[in-house]
Structure 1
Amino acid sequence: MAYIDLGDAAAEPGIRGLLRYRPETGRALMQLADALLRGDNAGDRELIAAYVSALNDCTFCHLSHAAVAAEHLPEGRPLVDAVLADPATAPISPRLRALLHLAAATRLDGHQVTEQLVADARDAGATDAEIHDTVLIAAAFSMFNRYVDGLGAFAPSDPAAYLPGAAHLARHGYTR
């Protein structure tokens, strides 16, 4: 049960109910999500969002973005689960591993992002645009996580509950 009265929107889980409750802010948040998570390497972008959300212990964002990442990635859910369990041992590229390390530092505190972490990401093949977007995804999802959990939004704990929405988001994005 959310901490505030969301009216009819309370039936929608996670951020969806909050966005419906305040559509004037919801539109801007979904435009940001669409800009950050769509396009090249959408699976990696969703995986970064899921990873940050898991580190922040945000059930809704963690499970929903893990499901969307699995829709985008050819290796599907087994790869997503391996990354969420331990990026250091997951079968991912050095580039993605370095970006996840950068995302983990960002979610703690922007000052945890160092020149060395950025250099490591570049050395692993990340472009400046990927580094920029990773930091922004991690920062934005830390905000989204705090929004969802800070208002006590309902979040199903069963990963299967996120599958229908994940397929839709992977195909159509966040603003449709």
Structure 2
Amino acid sequence: MPHIQIDNDLPGIGGLLRQRPDTGGLINTMADALLRGPMSLTPGERELIAAYTSERNETPFCAGSHSAFAAAQLEGGKELVQAVLIDPESAPLTPRIRALIRIAAEVQEPVHVLADETIAAAREAGADDAQIHDTVLVASAFCMINRYVTCLGTDLPESPAYYEEAARRIIGEGYAATLT
């Protein structure tokens, strides 16, 4: 049960965003920019980073949502995403994405400068400055969003099918459209 009164029946962050369109609009604009806008990583790769960060932060709503969004946009679909959430070291990833997932894992930990070895391994695997930057930005944004969703005790969807329908909507219309 949410810790605040929510005057709509949307689960997870959707209820919070609809409740507060003043801040919800800003968060959705940020999500569109980070996850759908032009960046060095594909939208599927960015959604995978968001899903992985959310899983590590034990935020089921965000992990479920962004897993579905990543699966719909990545070759390998649900099986790939689940493999990454379980063990990214054995998941069928390119060395570059595996190294970027390691960066996301380190970003999710208590705040510290990323280890030189983590960055060197990403560069060795083919990641450039833009990809390293964008990975840190997406993972850190999801640490904030995960806390927003989890700390207020938002509800989970009643059906797992919710996530697949949300994936169709987000991929087709974007995040900002979900407030209307």
Q: Aligned residue for 1:31?
A: 29
Q: For residues 13-162 of structure 1, what are the structure 2 equivalents within 5 Å?
A: 13-38=11-36, 39=38, 40-111=41-112, 113-156=114-157, 158-162=159-163
Q: Aligned residue for 2:170?
A: 169
Query: TM-score, normalization: structure 1?
Result: 0.94
**Are positions 1:4 and 2:10 aligned together?**
no
CA distance in 1, matches of 2:158, 2:18: 21
Instruction: Report the Cα offset of residue 155 of structure 1.
Output: 1.2
CA distance in 2, matches of 1:157, 1:51: 22
User: Would you tell me which structure has more helix in proportion to its own residues?
Assistant: 1
Segments of structure 2 that go 5 or more residues without pairing to the other structure are none
CA distance in 2, matches of 1:56, 1:74: 25
Instruction: Report the Cα offset of residue 139 of structure 1.
Output: 0.7
Q: How many residues align?
A: 174
Q: 1:130 to 1:157 in 2, by over 3 A?
A: farther
CA distance in 1, matches of 2:155, 2:12: 5
Residue type at the aligned position of 2:22: E
Instruction: Report the Cα offset of residue 112 of structure 1.
Output: 5.1
Are 1:67 and 1:77, in contact at CA under 8 Å, matched by a contact in 2?
A: yes
Instruction: Report the Cα offset of residue 119 of structure 1.
Output: 1.6
Segments of structure 1 that go 5 or more residues without pairing to the other structure are none
Instruction: Report the Cα offset of residue 15 of structure 1.
Output: 0.3
Q: Deviations over 1:3-37 (max 9, x none)?
A: 11112x2x101000000111111111111111111
SS in 1 for 2:176: coil
Instruction: Report the Cα offset of residue 125 of structure 1.
Output: 0.8
SS in 2 for 1:61: helix
Instruction: Report the Cα offset of residue 158 of structure 1.
Output: 4.8
Are 1:95 and 1:125, in contact at CA under 8 Å, matched by a contact in 2?
A: yes
Q: Percent identity?
A: 49
Mean CA deviation greater in 101-110 or 48-57: 101-110
Q: Following TM superposition, where does structure 1 have runs of at least 4 consecutive aligned residues deviating by more than 6 angstroms? A: none
CA distance in 1, matches of 2:77, 2:142: 22
Mean CA deviation greater in 21-30 or 107-116: 107-116
CA distance in 2, matches of 1:82, 1:160: 20
